[in-house]
Amino acid sequence: MRLYLRRLASARILAEVSKEPFEFQAIRYAANYAKIQSVAELVSKLFSPYIERYRNEYDASDLTPTERATRIITEFLEKNNSDKTFNKKQRIILIAADFDEQTLSACAWLVHNHVDISCLQIQPMKVENQLFLHVNRLLPVQKLDDYFVEVADTGKSLAKVDGELKINRTYLPRMDKLFEWGIIQQGDILSIKGYKDSEATAINPKNIEYKGQKLSYNQWGQRVTGWSSICIYQWAISQRHGELLDTLRKERLLQDMNENEGAKGEP
């Protein structure tokens, strides 16, 4: 069992000999887990029995399986700022060496009807003495439009589907726009999601102060995580708003779009 960000992720090996189609088994599991509404329910139904069965995977402790499971999940949710969004949405990822046409057809229909389902084809490869996994996402199909960058303001292509903001182009506002909107202000404290002691102070749209050093936002993120690259908007949290910068900018875009639609409807 794995915990993944804001959602419960349960890995299941679906038997190929089952009479029930591959995708239907996955949907049934997702539907069952969608009923879990609290940490206590998750612990009692899934996590505690798992720890009881596989005690050798965990360090020796005086905690009971229930206490250990509760502590692990609670710390995980707090670390990822996900306690309020616990299991609000389900996602299905099917992984196989290959998929039959019927499974791909059914999953394509589900994707078309806005079900969050993906099909990943994974094949082992050996190059000299090294082993690799080649991962190919079959569904959802990536659109060519996702790679196009428009000129100036014509690059904005936003749409709202089922109340959610969908961004069809590569346009998203950057730091200068976030400062202009007031989403970030000089002196605001930002932190990197999941990393302690990562707090830094915003100086301007280009720079942030971290441990007495003036860095770019990406340099700050790389310094904290140790990664060679980072999309800072998807990892930086505004302490003033309590949300990721990526979430805040998308909410502002949706707000602007709703206001524009309202203005068009006025006599």
78 with 201, same domain?
no
Position 150 confidence tier, pLDDT thresholds 50, 70, 90: low
Q: Is 237 helix (H, G, I), strand (E, B) or coil?
A: strand
C-alpha to C-alpha distance for 227 and 233, rounded to whole angstroms:
15
More confident of the two residues 1 and 89: 89
Question: Is the separation of the CB atoms in 199 and 190 below 8 Å?
Answer: yes
What order do you get walking across the sheet with 189-192 strand by strand?
Answer: 213-216, 207-210, 200-202, 189-192, 236-238, 243-244
Q: Which long-range contacts (CB under 8 A, 24 or more apart) does 100-106 make?
A: 102/21, 103/21, 103/22, 103/23, 104/138, 104/139, 106/21, 106/23
Q: What is the pLDDT of residue 147?
A: 59
Give yes or no for residue 3 having a pLDDT over 50: no
What is the signed CA dihedral for 88, 93, 94, 95, rounded to 10 degrees?
A: -140
Q: Which of 37-46, 183-192, 248-257 has the highest mean pLDDT?
A: 183-192
pTM (predicted TM-score) = 0.47
pLDDT in tens, 217-245: 989 998 998 876 677 988 999 999 999 99
8 with 134, same domain?
yes
Query: Does 144 fall in a domain?
Result: no
**Residue 92 belongs to domain spanning:** 2-139
More confident of the two residues 15 and 142: 142
Count Cα neighbours of 143 within 13 Å in the Cβ-side half-sphere: 7
Position 124 confidence tier, pLDDT thresholds 50, 70, 90: confident
Query: Does 152 fall in a domain?
Result: no
Question: Is the separation of the CB atoms in 217 and 228 below 8 Å?
Answer: no
What share of the chain in percent tops pLDDT 90? 30
Element (H, E) at 68: helix 65-79
207 with 115, same domain?
no
- If you average pLDDT over residues 245-249, what whole number do you get? 91
Work out how many domains the chain is built from and give that number.
Answer: 2
Residue 135: DSSP 8-state: E
Q: What is the pLDDT of residue 261?
A: 67
97 with 13, same domain?
yes
189 with 120, same domain?
no
C-alpha to C-alpha distance for 105 and 119, rounded to whole angstroms:
11
133 with 186, same domain?
no
Question: Which of 118, 91, 90 lies closest to 104 in space, CA to CA?
Answer: 118
Round the average pLDDT of the chain to a whole number and report it: 81
Q: Which of 84, 116, 139 is the last residue of a domain?
A: 139
122 with 179, same domain?
no
89 with 198, same domain?
no
Query: Does 149 fall in a domain?
Result: no
14-28, 106-120, 187-201, 239-253: segment of lowest average pLDDT? 14-28
C-alpha to C-alpha distance for 190 and 243, rounded to whole angstroms:
10
pLDDT in tens, 36-64: 989 999 999 989 998 898 888 888 778 89
Q: Which two tokens stand for residue 142?
A: 């990536």
Q: Is 243 helix (H, G, I), strand (E, B) or coil?
A: strand
199 with 93, same domain?
no
Contacts of 168 (CB under 8 A, 6+ apart): 143, 145, 146, 157, 158, 159
